Structures are given as structure tokens and as C-alpha cells.
């Protein structure tokens, strides 16, 4: 072989080697490949997204979507087996758990907004909610102004708690605002009259009411305080892992499987009590499924929660 051919052969080998190195997984994908484990953070009481059923099994719409992503990661890495580890999280711990790599994905009802995007990343939006409040029918509380001087509660570290605190100051409502550790505790405070209303994403309120002892005793406000797009939480600056997640969701959005999953959790009886939330897919969600986006700008989800 001539010297030129030797140089060309060596160069080709170097290029091939560089390409192979470039294709090696990095970041979260490398972590998962090396351990054979993907760790999913889940909530304990966010019906119907992420919660325990009567058998203490973790179930929900967001959990199902996280498993779709886990399957895509397994295929992407060419793994014969991938262990899925489940770790309970709270609103206060979900971002720290992502940043510390305790979990790889948060199967949660976390609002994607521009402020949070400075710290973490979100998958394409998979649900669009609105911030509302629930109260007892007998209390005749229908609008934000009706809550003046009352005690309200929301979940700690939630956008709902932040927003009702801001509205309280802006509109001089004179509210006493309490922070509950989770959704169940917040609703129990309403049940026991320790609070006049629970401020939370509407879909979570529907779930709490449907699974309460007396659903007819409660009413969710018509007035929407904000729009809340949900995304699966993941680490920032890890585009390869985010691409796998987004591609996995885009695939089920395109082939219609997302409609089956939605019907399973929002249009049919669900655990733990077999209640049917009967919440049709909103126009805002239909649009984002047709054209996936991870935008944290609420204006991207205009028409809010209007059902079609």
C-alpha cells in the first residue's frame, strides 16, 4: 500500500472513530445505558395524572406517558431490558430531584412556564388546564371576589399558590392563604371547613371532587384564573434525551394512541373508586396535540380550556 493510501486509510478510520464517538449516548441517556435503570418521579395524589390506586400501584395519565418515553429510551439505546424505578415526589422536591439526578423524568402535573424553563426543561405539552377554585355549594362562592376575607388553601410550591398570593395583593382580597403538603390534604381542609376554597388546576379539582364522599356538595368555579400547560419534567441542557421524549410523544400524537390514553383517564371509570371524570378533550389540547409545542408562554394556548 502506498504512503498516500495509508494516510487515507488512517484518516478514514479516524473519521469513523469520531462518528462512533459522536453517536455515543451522553447525559441522561448515558446514565440510563450504564445503569440499565430509568427513574420516574411520581405524585401520590394527583388524580388522574399520577397517584396510587387501592393496591398502592402507581397509575395515571402522566405515568402512562412516562412509560411511553421509557420504552422509547429503551429502543433508542438498543437495550434488551430496562428497569423502571418509581420514586415518589412532592411539589417542593420535584425540581431538586431532577437537578440532583435522583429522577430522570417527573410524571407530574407541573405547569410549564418561562420562569421554570430557566432551571429545568419540559417535554411537549400533554395537557392544558386552568387555575380555578372549588368550594362547597352551600357557601355560594362563585367568583374570586366572593372569596374576599376568606381562608383558601393550595398546594405548596405550586403555581396556583403563587398566583392566588399575587391576586390577593393586587385585588386587595384580604385572604388568609394556607399551603398544604399535597392535593389530598388541601381538599381535606375544605371538607373540614378549615378553608372556604381550594385553589388548584381545574382537572385536579374535578378528580378530588369525583373521589370525595359527597361530590354533589362541591362546585368548581367557572372563573378561570390562568392557563396551565403541563409537560413531563426533565433536565435542561440535555437535548438528546429531550428529543427522545418529544419524539415518543409526537409519535403517539400522530398515530392517535393519545386519544385512547385520554379516553382511558378522562372519559371512563378510573381507580380508586371507579368514578368517571367525563372531561372532554379541550380545544387548546387538541391544537397542541396536532402541532406539538413545549412553549411556556400561556398565550400559545389561547381559547384556554374550552371543550369542543
Residues of the chain with pLDDT under 50: 2-22, 304-308
Residue 90 within a domain:
yes
pTM of structure: 0.81
Whether 59 and 188 share a structural domain: no
Whether 142 and 209 share a structural domain: yes
Whether 79 and 116 share a structural domain: yes
Whether 135 and 221 share a structural domain: yes
Residue 303 within a domain:
no
Residue 259 within a domain:
yes
Q: What's the 3-state SS for the chain? A: CCHHHHHHHHHHHHHHHHHHHHHCCCHHHHHHHHHCEEEEEECCEECCCEEECCCCCEECHHHHHHHHHHHHHHHHHCCCCCEEEEEECCCCCHHHHHHCCCCCEEECCCECCCCHHHCEEECCCCEEEEEEEEEEHHHCCCCHHHHCCCEEEEECCCHHHHHHHHHHHHCCCCCEEEEECCHHHHHHHHHCCCCCEEEEEHHHHHHHHHCCCCHHHEEECCCCCEEEEECCEEECCCHHHHHHHHHHHHHHHHHCHHHHHHHHHHCCEECCCCEECCCCCEHHHHHHHHCCCCCCCHHHHCCCCCEC
Q: Are 304 and 284 in contact (CB under 8 A)?
A: yes
Whether 60 and 193 share a structural domain: no
Residue-wise pLDDT tens digits, 285-303: 999 999 999 999 988 886 5
The total number of residues written for the chain in this structure:
308
Short-list 105, 103, 120, 116, CA closest to 249? 105
β-pairing, 50-52 vs 45-46, is: antiparallel
Q: What is the CATH number of the domain that holds 247?
A: 3.40.190.10
Residue-wise pLDDT tens digits, 93-138: 999 999 999 999 999 999 999 999 999 999 999 999 999 999 999 9
Whether 112 and 257 share a structural domain: yes
Last residue of a domain, one of 226, 251, 280: 226
Whether 116 and 32 share a structural domain: yes
Whether 115 and 245 share a structural domain: yes
Whether 121 and 136 share a structural domain: no
Average pLDDT of the chain is: 90
pLDDT of residue 23: 62
Give the max Cα distance, the chain.
94
| Number of domains, the chain | 2
- Gap between the Cα atoms of 134 and 267, Å rounded: 21
Last residue of a domain, one of 226, 245, 277: 226
Whether 218 and 77 share a structural domain: no
Whether 207 and 275 share a structural domain: no
Last residue of a domain, one of 178, 197, 226: 226
Q: Which domain holds residue 262?
A: 25-126+231-298
Whether 121 and 235 share a structural domain: yes
Amino acid at each position: 500500500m502506498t504512503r498516500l493510501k495509508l494516510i487515507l486509510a488512517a484518516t478514514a478510520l479516524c473519521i469513523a472513530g469520531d462518528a462512533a464517538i459522536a453517536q455515543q449516548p451522553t447525559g441522561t441517556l448515558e446514565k440510563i445505558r450504564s445503569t440499565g435503570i430509568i427513574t420516574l418521579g411520581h405524585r401520590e395524589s394527583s388524580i388522574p395524572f399520577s397517584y396510587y390506586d387501592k393496591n398502592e400501584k402507581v397509575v395515571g395519565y402522566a405515568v402512562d406517558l412516562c412509560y411511553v418515553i421509557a420504552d422509547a429510551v429503551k429502543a433508542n439505546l438498543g437495550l434488551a431490558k430496562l428497569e423502571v424505578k418509581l420514586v415518589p415526589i412532592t411539589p417542593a422536591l420535584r425540581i431538586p430531584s431532577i437537578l440532583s439526578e435522583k429522577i430522570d423524568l417527573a410524571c407530574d402535573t407541573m405547569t410549564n412556564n418561562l420562569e421554570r424553563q430557566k432551571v429545568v426543561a419540559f417535554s411537549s405539552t400533554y395537557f392544558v388546564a386552568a387555575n380555578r377554585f372549588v368550594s362547597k355549594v352551600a357557601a355560594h362562592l362563585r367568583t374570586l371576589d366572593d372569596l374576599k376575607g376568606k381562608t383558601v388553601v393550595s398546594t405548596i410550591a405550586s403555581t396556583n399558590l403563587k398566583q392566588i398570593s399575587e391576586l390577593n395583593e393586587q385585588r386587595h382580597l384580604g385572604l388568609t392563604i394556607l399551603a398544604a403538603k399535597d392535593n389530598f390534604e388541601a381538599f381535606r381542609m375544605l371538607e373540614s371547613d378549615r378553608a372556604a376554597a381550594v385553589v388548584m388546576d381545574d382537572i385536579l379539582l374535578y378528580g378530588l371532587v369525583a373521589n370525595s364522599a359527597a361530590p354533589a356538595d362541591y362546585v368548581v368555579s367557572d372563573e378561570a384564573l390562568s392557563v396551565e400547560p403541563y409537560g413531563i419534567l426533565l433536565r435542561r441542557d440535555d437535548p438528546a434525551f429531550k428529543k427522545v421524549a418529544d419524539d415518543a410523544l409526537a409519535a403517539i400524537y400522530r398515530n392517535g394512541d393519545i386519544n385512547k390514553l385520554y379516553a382511558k383517564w378522562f372519559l371512563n371509570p378510573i381507580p380508586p373508586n371507579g368514578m368517571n371524570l367525563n372531561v372532554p378533550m379541550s380545544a387548546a389540547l387538541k391544537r397542541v396535540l396536532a402541532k406539538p409545542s413545549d412553549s411556556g408562554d400561556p398565550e400559545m394556548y389561547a381559547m384556554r380550556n374550552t371543550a369542543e
